[in-house]
Structure 1
Amino acid sequence: MDVCLSSAGGWLEAENEGDLQKDSARGPPGDANKIEPSLHSLQKLVPTDYGSYTQERYRFAGKDIVIQESIESYGAVVWPGATALCQYLEEHTEELNLQDAKILEIGAGPGLVSIVATLLGAQVTATDLPDVLGNLQYNLLKNTLKCTAHLPEVKELVWGEDLEQNFPKSALYYDYVLASDVVYHHYSLDKLLTTMAYLSQPGTVLLWANKFRFSTDYEFLDKFKQVFDATLLAEYPESSVKLFKGILKWD
């Protein structure tokens, strides 16, 4: 059994912070400066205080992945779209050229997709709302520290708000933007579409997996197709998940 977890003891599950920083800098030549700041960004977050957790296990990228979940928050549960997207990434790693690819995940939740993308060699920025980030960073560290070329970064992202300030186009570029089960019956769908479009630049591929539950999901898909050249990449009938590839339309 190949388990990729950090060593036990303390919130960061390591012997001490100094050892964490020292070990995080060990990677391919030239990566130390990328990895250590990511570790610092993960350390500064406060753990989410949920009353009850479960430990769920998943198997992707040749690793056993342990995810701390809680039914107290939509953002602390792995949804069907996430596992479908992980399966696709695993099966198409070489085709997608994920090694060292720059990836941002929208609505990372408990972090499974970001963990799998990191294990497959990508440089990942996992984003979500502030109350989700503590549990997200915990899962990312447990499953990527000391066993990946790049440590994932965690950033707050409120859809449609302060995008240029927090994600300046002049400084950031992503090969892929990932999203899974971010579309359901809520009132921020227009802001979500705005955010998807903002983060996409020439050459960026958006991969969106979603379980289609409500009429609003299909209404969003119609709007998505107005903004993106959309291709249905895969369907998972057992979970009602569809996976789309989106390339932003340019005037």
Structure 2
Amino acid sequence: MDLCLNSTQQPQHLGQAPKCPGGWLEAEEEGAAPEDGTGGPPGDPQETESSLQSLLKFVPTDYASYTQEHYRFAGKSIVMQESIESFGAVVWPGATVLCQYLEEHTEELNLQDAKVLEIGAGPGLVSIVASILGAQVTATDLPDVLGNLQYNLLKNTLKCTAHLPEVKELVWGEDLEENFPKSTFYYNYVLASDVVYHHYFLDKLLSTMVHLSQPGTVVLWANKFRFSSDYEFLDKFKQVFDTTLLAEYPESSVKLFKGILKWD
């Protein structure tokens, strides 16, 4: 079995936060390392400790029901904790398309040690796959999503990846320079899947994508096109990003775009 950690181990009560970097983290670490021996190196101890601390900051939302959904990417079985009670706790079609693209184009994208940020990471499947493929990942979303996100990341990347992913709060369009200053944060890739749907924050989403893009940054955005507002966002996206359609899946209405910020 090539799951990074024992998928049967669950926190006794998801609403209870660990009091220190122990709790259910220690219980998870007692699970065996990957049996196929393909786990990545532990990395720098200071980086590992910092990443573990970042993964333990958030308390999973105490939804009435969670399900365990199974995926397989990058040669790994991935078990995701999901809940239909929240848009941010479900893997949407764009995420699986983006994972497939990352898996099939790993060498072309040069993901090993690449700095990657995911916008609207939700339960975290895309961030997990990028981490398994060797990237240094920062997974972001709204505060109420982060507990389940960190749980899934820890469950599926601890002891299997060269870099443990980081979890950070990101509210689109708010405090961007304060929380992600351009002088400090640089990303080779900004990933986004199914972040565009019928909501009122599309302009803030676009401004966030722009802020996180610097020379050399590539935005990979996969989306199931459902509403006219999705196409309106695409038009605005094309105005500020040089845009390439990388893949299209008519059966699921998912399109995958590559964007590079236009520079005057």
Corresponding residue for 1:201?
A: 214
Deviations 1:149-199 (A, max 9, x none): 110000000000000111111111000000000000000000000000000
Unaligned runs of 5+ in 2: 12-17, 32-40
Among candidates 101, 123, 126, match of residue 113 of structure 1: 126
1:84-99 equivalences under 5 Å are 84-99=97-112
The 3 A distance-change label for structure 1 pair 216 and 149 is same
Corresponding residue for 1:191?
A: 204
1:20-169 equivalences under 5 Å are 27-28=42-43, 31-169=44-182
Pairing 1:15–2:26 present: yes
- The residue type paired with residue 189 of structure 1 is L
The 3 A distance-change label for structure 1 pair 38 and 6 is farther
Pairing 1:229–2:231 present: no
Q: Distance in 2 between matches of 1:174 and 1:168?
A: 12
Q: Distance in 2 between matches of 1:122 and 1:36?
A: 17
The 3 A distance-change label for structure 1 pair 61 and 102 is same
Q: Distance in 1 between matches of 2:197 and 2:28?
A: 39
Q: Distance in 2 between matches of 1:41 and 1:222?
A: 36
Q: Distance in 1 between matches of 2:30 and 2:4?
A: 18
- Distance apart, 1:34 and its partner CA: 2.0
Contact in 2 for aligned 1:236/1:242 (Cα 8 Å): yes
Deviations 1:121-164 (A, max 9, x none): 00000000000000000000000011111100000000000001
Q: Distance in 2 between matches of 1:94 and 1:159?
A: 31
RMSD of equivalent CA atoms: 1.8
Q: Distance in 2 between matches of 1:83 and 1:16?
A: 29
Deviations 1:206-234 (A, max 9, x none): 00000001110000000000010000001
Pairing 1:4–2:4 present: yes
Number of paired residues? 244
Contact in 1 for aligned 2:197/2:226 (Cα 8 Å): yes
Q: Distance in 2 between matches of 1:218 and 1:89?
A: 24
Contact in 2 for aligned 1:6/1:144 (Cα 8 Å): no
Contact in 2 for aligned 1:6/1:13 (Cα 8 Å): no
- The residue type paired with residue 220 of structure 2 is L
The 3 A distance-change label for structure 1 pair 19 and 3 is closer
Q: Distance in 2 between matches of 1:83 and 1:18?
A: 28
Corresponding residue for 2:36?
A: none
Q: Give secondary structure in 2 for the equivalent of 1:15.
A: helix
- Distance apart, 1:32 and its partner CA: 2.4
Unaligned runs of 5+ in 1: 21-25
